Chains A and B, each alone.
Chain A
């Protein structure tokens, strides 16, 4: 059980870490200064979540690894984040749609995890829930403005949704680690959240005048450690300092 418990917490931590890293790439590059600050804010929220979760994962693992070792010194195959989170930012539309799809999921997850039998995880969830709600609000408003905006923004937002939608299937496919954790009352199996997630996401997409893509058989497998070609490049940047100056602290 503890192995699956660890796996589950690592997935949560790695999602936050990797998406936080992606969002931080926007720093100084967002379309307007207001959005630059908002994206940096969200990136920092996610990094904060990642720190707590990876520290907790380190304790569950019991091998003395701390947040820095888990964040900076694992090899690609040991990261458990969803493939969705490691995809490149592309344009503001794709970044916004991803934030929207993911934070809608995170809100539901944190709501459930706030009642986890793992009290440490429950405390992290209660803190993160406030942040995720803000991320969801912010990105949902933007999805509507972009989808229902100019011809160009409509086109790009629809393209973003078409590109990202197949990666959502990974979240909701049944999984052994997920099931074990759910049976132990630690947290929900992610597949349980699909209906609630759809109920939260679809009305916004409709208001944004976007067309929901058809489901495909494609299943990404980031949470099993099988990543896209983008992950290695992301890790090279993320890990560069620790690999160059091992043990460096700030």
Chain B
């Protein structure tokens, strides 16, 4: 099937009690409004209280897997960068 008029959209959903939008998949749709409509069917089963973002897949810029070392490898030799040794007061949760 001709797909040039059915671009791919990435779908991000925040569930009712969720704190942030999570990527949950993709859909094909002719435009943003239809992408929202079908994302609702495919990924939310129309539960109340969810928020949906759709983004055209071509608008997403991804990091290069080959650049992994310089981007993500933690500086193991700079141990002071990791806040492992700090003692947190009891009132501070979720760190």
Q: Which of B1-60 contact A (CB under 8 A)?
A: 1, 5-6, 27-31, 33-34, 37-38, 41-42, 46
Given the complex of chains A and B, what is the CA–CA distance between A33 and B43 in angstroms?
12
Residue among A34, A37, A41, A137 making CB contact with B29, cutoff 8 Å: A34
Q: Quick check: A32 and B42 within 8 Å, CB to CB? A: no
Residue among B5, B31, B37 making CB contact with A137, cutoff 8 Å: B37
* Interface flags, A26-40, vs B, CB<8A=1, else 0: 000001111101100
Contacts of B6 in A (CB 8 A): 32
Nearest-Cβ distance from residue B56 to partner chain A, whole angstroms: 15
Q: Quick check: A145 and B30 within 8 Å, CB to CB? A: yes
Contacts of B5 in A (CB 8 A): 149-150
A41-B41, A134-B46 known; A34 and B28 CB under 8 Å?
A: yes
Contacts of A137 in B (CB 8 A): 37
Given the complex of chains A and B, what is the CA–CA distance between A205 and B38 in angstroms?
21
Count CB-based A-B contacts (< 8 Å).
Answer: 33
Q: Quick check: B28 and A32 within 8 Å, CB to CB? A: yes
Which bucket holds chain A's interface residue count? 10 to 19
Contacts of A34 in B (CB 8 A): 27-29, 38, 41-42
Q: Quick check: B42 and A141 within 8 Å, CB to CB? A: no
A32-B6, A34-B27 known; A141 and B41 CB under 8 Å?
A: no
Nearest-Cβ distance from residue A45 to partner chain B, whole angstroms: 9
Residue of B nearest to A39 (CB): B41
* Interface flags, A135-156, vs B, CB<8A=1, else 0: 0011001100100011000000
Contacts of B41 in A (CB 8 A): 34, 37-38, 41
Q: Quick check: B37 and A141 within 8 Å, CB to CB? A: yes
Given the complex of chains A and B, what is the CA–CA distance between A142 and B41 in angstroms?
14
Most chain A beta-carbon contacts within 10 A, residue among B1, B5, B38, B46: B38
Most chain A beta-carbon contacts within 10 A, residue among B1, B6, B42: B42
Given A34-B28, A141-B37, 13 further pairs, Cβ under 8 A: A31-B1, A34-B27, A34-B38, A34-B41, A35-B38, A37-B38, A37-B41, A38-B37, A41-B41, A138-B37, A145-B30, A149-B5, A149-B30
Nearest 5 pairs of A and B residues by beta carbon? A34-B38, A38-B41, A37-B41, A34-B27, A145-B30
Can you list 20 A-B contacts (CB < 8 A)? A31-B1, A32-B28, A33-B42, A34-B28, A34-B29, A34-B38, A34-B41, A37-B38, A37-B41, A37-B42, A38-B37, A38-B38, A38-B41, A41-B46, A134-B46, A141-B34, A141-B37, A145-B30, A145-B31, A149-B5
